[in-house]
Amino acid sequence: MDIAGAVALVAGGGGGFGAATARRLHAAGARVVVSDLDQAKGRAIVDELGVGAVFVRTDVTREDDVAAAVAAAEGLGPLRIAVVAHGGPGGPRILDKENAPAPQSSFARVIEVFLLATYNIDRLAAAAMARTDPLESGERGVIINTASIAAFDGTIGQTAYAAAKGGLVSMTLPLARDLGPLGIRALTLAPGTFLTPAYGDADPAQLDGYWGPAIPFPKRMGRPEEYAQLVQQIAENVYLNGETIRIDGGLRFTPKGAK
Ligand SMILES: NC(=O)c1ccc[n+]([C@@H]2O[C@H](COP(=O)([O-])OP(=O)(O)OC[C@H]3O[C@@H](n4cnc5c(N)ncnc54)[C@H](O)[C@@H]3O)[C@@H](O)[C@H]2O)c1
């Protein structure tokens, strides 16, 4: 797909992965809807990008919010790229130190934010893509969801997160199969550890030093720009479809993550 002239919706567009993706796609000529719960973060990216970037305040767990973000994208032109990269809660261990069970609601919330909300964005974005005229290749668009390597090697305390991200991995192929007749591709990214605001104010050099030894190469955390680069490569390469791609420097989580 030629990104120039396409419209992209980036859910979590104010975050680490989302902002890097919005910047990269915008630089490649896309018009971009930055959809995020956090007004300040979302607006900052849109102000930085200028013409061709629009912020829509969105709680991804609210169907009508997501519908409004998709409508805003359609208002800019043909929606061709949907990147789902919003954040959310982790989960506790299934039993705490006194062996009391985790609240069921904590599991449900993680599933709601990561799995249910992603499906909602996917279905509404796919419907908008289906309304576009196909490109010369027959392609209409591409959906890129964000899982995690925790989908495959979840660590202690990640039962809910791994279940949600595993759900995203499992739905990738059926999404591609459902949408293939319309020329819409579906892929999932499974990042390892990336230096984003999700890690708070921790010192980047310290974080790289902590994770580096566990990563075959390069011996540092990933950078959001590397995630965004892969998003662009996926968008441009029409033969990528129905697959989950790990982007992790070869990292495999141990039970505690790195050590
Ligand atoms: N950073 C990593 O190492 C890493 C690794 C694997 C997977 N991931 C996944 O990548 C995605 C993005 O992670 P990140 O590191 O960029 O996080 P981040 O915290 O930098 O950004 C997340 C963004 O999502 C927004 N957000 C949170 N809740 C929302 C909601 N209900 N509705 C709309 N927006 C909401 C936040 O305001 C923020 O701007 C997440 O799904 C995360 O699980 C991250």
Q: Positive or negative, the Cα torsion across 146, 78, 173, 66?
A: positive
Pocket of ligand 1 (CB under 6 A): 12, 14-18, 36-38, 41, 58-61, 85-88, 113, 146, 148, 191, 193-194, 196-198
What does the pLDDT read at residue 206?
A: 96
Residue 5 phi, psi (nearest 5):
90, -10
pTM tops 0.85: yes
196 alpha carbon – ligand 1 mean position (Å)? 9
The HSE-up count of residue 112 (CA atoms within 13 Å, CB side) is: 12
Task: Write down the catalytic residue from 119, 161, 199, 227.
Answer: 161
The HSE-up count of residue 226 (CA atoms within 13 Å, CB side) is: 17
- pLDDT in tens for each of the 259 residues of the chain? 999 999 999 999 999 999 999 999 999 999 999 999 999 999 999 999 999 999 999 999 999 999 999 999 999 999 999 999 999 999 899 999 999 999 999 999 999 999 999 999 999 999 999 999 999 999 999 999 999 999 999 999 999 999 999 999 999 999 999 999 999 999 999 999 999 999 988 999 999 999 999 999 999 999 999 999 999 999 999 999 999 999 999 999 999 999 8
What does the pLDDT read at residue 21?
A: 98
121 alpha carbon – ligand 1 mean position (Å)? 15
Domains recognised in the chain with CATH numbers: 7-247 (3.40.50.720)
Backbone torsion region of residue 50, taken as left when φ is above 0, otherwise alpha when ψ lies between -120 and 50, otherwise beta: left
Is 239 considered catalytic here? no
Find, among 229, 227, 178, the residue nearest to 27 by Cα.
Answer: 229
Mutate which of 9, 10, 17, 24 for ligand 1 pocket (most atoms within 8 A of beta carbon): 17
Other beta carbons less than 10 A from residue 121's beta carbon: 26
